[in-house]
Structure 1
Amino acid sequence: MITIYLAEDQVMIAQALQTLLDLEADLKVLGVANDGQQALKDILELKPDIALLDIEMPHLNGLDVATQLRESVWSGKVIVLTTFARKEYFAKAVKNEVAGYLLKDSPSVDLIQTIKTVFNGQTVYESRLVKGMFTKEECPLTKRELQILSALQTSSNTQQIAQKVYLAEGTIRNYISAILSKTGTSSRLEAVLLAKENGWI
């Protein structure tokens, strides 16, 4: 069972999302808040697996909630669900290592799948926001992801890369999946070329 906390300031949308999520046999909504401050308090107390956050909310916006959650002892994952396709919002979300970022006009099936994918340790970013979004100064990848991407320049063999960076093959595959998602690319080669073009590696 995947437990979820929902923060959404528009009551009708919050109710609709809660109904949608509770229809899934393996998902359970632990609580709902209409402002960020209450959401932060409840998430730290209830410890859901996933915090599903809107951005623009009273008292504390969703990105600030994500920042404070990242600095806390909570070990769950944050997914941002928002109307706003703003570069600065997305960049801040990536900086705070949110595991998912979706727009509200995405199909409901995408939201369900994103929750399950994020729960399993992968990253899902809205592809419309990723392509062309980042400059050299705004690299979306972590140091470890850059290390693995750099290793992909000389080898496409997952086992060899795992041995090189002292990680399990499954972990390497998860990192590669995250790299492709964050960069909006569809192959390892494309991700390497994008990174070299932007001076990330």
Structure 2
Amino acid sequence: MIRVVLADDEELIRVALAALLDLEDDIQVVGRVGDGRAAVMEALRYRPDVAVVDLEMPGLNGMGVASELLRALPGCAVIVLTGKARPVHLERALKAGARAFVVKGAPASTLADVIRRVHTGQRYVDPALAADALTVPPCPLSPRELEIVRLSSAGEDTAAIARHTHLAAGTLRNYLAAIQSKLGVTNRHEAVQAVRDSGWL
């Protein structure tokens, strides 16, 4: 019997996944939780074979859960589930220790098959996402530029961003101009949106 913990912040999805997996003779759902921190605690409590975690959850996202479980419970294989798949998310999830990356729109039977695969030590990546990952361009922004975009996304004004980054106002303006040019946008709000849409933030 493969013991599974489910973590998704949407209760309907948790209930539906548990119901589908309970139809499988060799899979038992031992825990269901609604956030990443609770997922880690539930996994440490029940010591499941597999944890199925949503990519975006409050407290700790799916990549954070994968990273913590890799360290604290290496025998538990992590499957990251998402409705908003981006190639960059795939790369980060695998680097964090996830064994599989599945999109929520996949057929119901896929998740059970993937659970069995990772339980035997295999990996799985949604084929369409894997194909996209091979063609997506890398982020054109430097780490410093990404930091400026991140601060902008938090609602910081230019004076606050300059303080946080220890940049002179003129230097910050040059960075913002370079960011906008690289992304092909006209202001920093569009830059934040472009970076979010690409999954680089």
Give the TM-score band, short-chain normalised.
Answer: 0.5 to 0.7
Structure 1 pair 22/86, CA: closer, same or farther in 2 (3 Å)?
same
Distance 1:88 1:70 in 2: 20
Find the counterpart in structure 2 of residue 59 from structure 1.
Answer: 59
Q: How many residue pairs get matched?
A: 137
Q: Percent identity?
A: 38
Conservation of the 8 A alpha-carbon contact between 1:35 and 1:57:
yes
TM-score by length of 2: 0.64
Conservation of the 8 A alpha-carbon contact between 2:99 and 2:124:
yes
Gapped runs of 5+ residues in structure 1?
A: 139-201
Show CA shifts across 1:26-63 (max 9, x none).
Answer: 11001000011111111112110000000111111111
Mark the structure with the bigger radius of gyration: 2
Find the counterpart in structure 2 of residue 118 from structure 1.
Answer: 118
Find the counterpart in structure 1 of residue 14 from structure 2.
Answer: 14
- RMSD after superposition: 1.8
Conservation of the 8 A alpha-carbon contact between 2:21 and 2:28:
yes
- For residues 57-136 of structure 1, the aligned pairs below 5 Å read 57-134=57-134
Find the counterpart in structure 2 of residue 37 from structure 1.
Answer: 37
C-alpha displacement at 1:87, in angstroms?
2.2
Gapped runs of 5+ residues in structure 2?
A: 139-201
SS at match of 1:71: helix
C-alpha displacement at 1:89, in angstroms?
1.2
AA matched with 1:84: K
C-alpha displacement at 1:86, in angstroms?
1.4
Conservation of the 8 A alpha-carbon contact between 1:47 and 1:74:
no
Distance 1:57 1:10 in 2: 9
**Post-superposition, which runs of at least 4 consecutive aligned residues in structure 1 deviate over 4 A?**
none
Higher mean Cα deviation, 105-114 or 83-92?
83-92
Find the counterpart in structure 2 of residue 25 from structure 1.
Answer: 25
TM-score by length of 1: 0.64
Structure 1 pair 96/45, CA: closer, same or farther in 2 (3 Å)?
same
Distance 1:73 1:18 in 2: 22
SS at match of 1:45: helix
